[in-house]
Amino acid sequence: MNYLEKNGYTYCTFSLFSSFPEVFAAVSTKTATDEQCRSFSEWMSPLKEQEHCFISESYLYNALNLTTDAIARIHQIHSNTVIYAQSTGFLGNGDGMVTDKKGIFLRVVTADCLSIFLYDPHRKIIGLVHAGWRGILQNIIASTVRQMESWFDTNPQELFAAVGPFIQRCCYRVKEDVASKFDEDYLFHRKQIFQMPMQESIYRLDLGAVAQDQLLKKGIPACHIEIADECTFCRDDLFHSARRDKGKTGRNVSLFALQY
């Protein structure tokens, strides 16, 4: 990933999209104003919390010379539901968005989960996905690619895919109930399970590897895939992490748009 600055604000972008100036892709970094989102997250419902976080993101949009009227957003529910974003504003429940409309900034938020950026440069189609382990298991990535194929005749071999910062295998520890749902190839040091007296076994799960394999299985070439190596849990200086901060945290904002 690359770090850029605009109007005094630092954000992340992808080397993969440097050859495509017509798209804008960004992942936010932490600022002091994120405390607005963090301070209210304990007592709000999930939907109201997400809406409050959106309102508190004005610092980001101001720095990028955007208005909230340009943003398309969803209530993320850890599903495989994909929405066609024909307009901005709140578009309903789901975890993936696809659009062919210029000037619509697709937005998802994460705090350890993955944000996946999909771009078809031949047909000028973009997709943005939110995926935690539940969404990964429900194939939200494949569902989004399929919708791009169905709605716009996208050829997966022509797609480019980037994955924003997420909790890496160094820090993503899961118990047997989650680990058992994944192939052992994705469980880091499976044969060296951390045994704790009177506690469940703990595994380290590599969600980045799962996402990469799902992208490859959909036919996206390996040379068209970029996966961030930044760990949201480790990088307290840059990113929010629900696990690290025990749920009392802000959100990392991912934005993706066709500019022209």
The overall pTM is greater than 0.95: no
Among candidate residues 160, 184, 205, the one where a domain is terminated: 205
79 with 144, same domain? yes
What mean pLDDT comes out for the span 61-70?
Answer: 94
The counts of H helices and E strands in the chain are 7, 16
Q: Do 18 and 56 fall within a single domain? A: yes
Q: Do 242 and 198 fall into the same domain? A: no
Q: For residue 130, give every residue at least 6 positions away whose Cβ sits within 8 Å of its Cβ, in sequence order, or none.
A: 76, 95, 96, 108, 109, 110, 113, 114, 115, 140
Query: What is the average per-residue pLDDT within 148-169?
Result: 98
Q: Specify whether 194 is located in the same domain as 222.
A: no
Residue 182 belongs to what domain range? 169-205
- Taking a C-beta distance cutoff of 8 angstroms, is the pair 188, 203 a contact? yes
Same domain? 233 vs 216: yes
Which tokens go with 59?
A: 């610092």
One domain for residues 136 and 99: yes
Q: What is the mean pLDDT of residues 243-260?
A: 91
Same domain, 24 and 119: yes
* pLDDT(71) > 80: yes
> Residue 56 belongs to a domain with what CATH number?
3.60.140.10
- The model's pLDDT over 166-221, given as tens digits with 9 standing for 90+, comes to 999 999 999 999 999 999 999 986 444 455 554 567 899 999 999 999 999 999 99
Total tally of structural domains belonging to the chain = 2
Residues 24 and 129 in one domain: yes
In whole angstroms, how far apart are CA 5 and each of 15, 64, 146?
A: 15, 9, 35
Q: Are residues 164 and 174 in the same domain?
A: no
Same domain? 11 vs 120: yes
CA angle at residue 147 from 26 to 157, to 5 degrees?
Answer: 75
Query: Is residue 178 domain-shared with residue 252, that is, in the same domain?
Result: no
Residues 144 and 218 in one domain: yes
